[in-house]
A = this chain, B = another copy of it.
Amino acid sequence: MATIIDGKALAAKLDEATRKRVKQLAEHGIIPGLVVVLVGDDLASQIYVRNKERRAKKMGLHSIVRKLPATITEAELIQVIQEYNEDTSIHAILVQLPLPAQINEFHVTTAIDPKKDVDGFHPVNLGKLLVNKTDRTPIACTPQGIMTMFKAYHIPLDGKRVVVIGRSTIVGKPMAALLINANATVTITHSHTHHLAQLTREADILIVAVGIAHFVHATDVKPGAVVIDVGMDRDEKGKLVGDVDFTTVQDRASYITPVPKGVGPMTITTLMAQTVALAEWSGEENG
């Protein structure tokens, strides 16, 4: 029976440390500022943004949600971003994805000042991560939250065989880079991969980010493996479930993250911690 990695409890602990840093900054007259830009009225995005705003306020951050119409042009959106790039009360800019079809996400990501890129999706930040030069560099929050889990649960990475399912900019690619930097042997798999189960069954650590409910079953997992589930899916009854069939896999794994209360809370907690870090780094520069 696997140890269940308690993302919620770990996130609460991390939040406490972040709150202390917020207080320390306050003593220097700095309130970390986060703006979340929401384009259009996608329901899921609205929920995510509301959760981020609530959490930011709870943490004592200066939090703004900037709502923009779905009809906005790319140029107009980039102008809004540039406004926040220059706003010294804002340390962290997050553009909620996905964006409407008329807007190129990459152009928008690239328009964010890398020093305010709290999501870590700007190519210069991704490039620094790839070459393991991450000092004062924001890193994608989901993979970074997973690294915090490994550390908290003393899960060794050096020399371990890791299989990542998914190659997104948000999870798979930065996750792979972090793990290579931690001396793991990393295989990146995706929709074009043949014989996926052969690979996953060899993994000491399996990270699943495909967005398909119950994609990974017990027979796909090596006995004793660590299984990290990044999925936030709905099952046929509309219940929130992960990419991993938790009920059967937990008998086979040594560690497993549940959904909910696994990776999800760690992502938002890491976002808060990184907002504070960006404010700290900007203070260093000015000081």
Q: Which residues of chain A have a CB within 8 Å of any CB of chain B?
A: 106, 121-128, 130-131, 133, 158-159, 161, 167, 169, 173, 176-177, 180, 183-190, 192-194, 199
Contacts and interface: CB of A to CB of B under 8 A. Distances in A.
B131 A169 contact: yes
22 contacts: A106-B131, A106-B133, A122-B127, A123-B127, A123-B133, A125-B127, A126-B126, A126-B130, A127-B130, A130-B130, A158-B192, A159-B193, A159-B194, A161-B194, A173-B180, A176-B188, A183-B190, A185-B189, A185-B190, A185-B193, A185-B194, A186-B187
Q: How many copies does the complex hold?
A: 2
Contacts of A173: 130-131, 180
> Top 7 closest A-B pairs, CB basis?
A123-B127, A127-B127, A126-B127, A183-B192, A187-B187, A124-B124, A185-B193
Which secondary structure dominates where chain A touches chain B?
Answer: mixed
Nearest to A196: B185
Contact of A127 (B124, B183, B186): B124
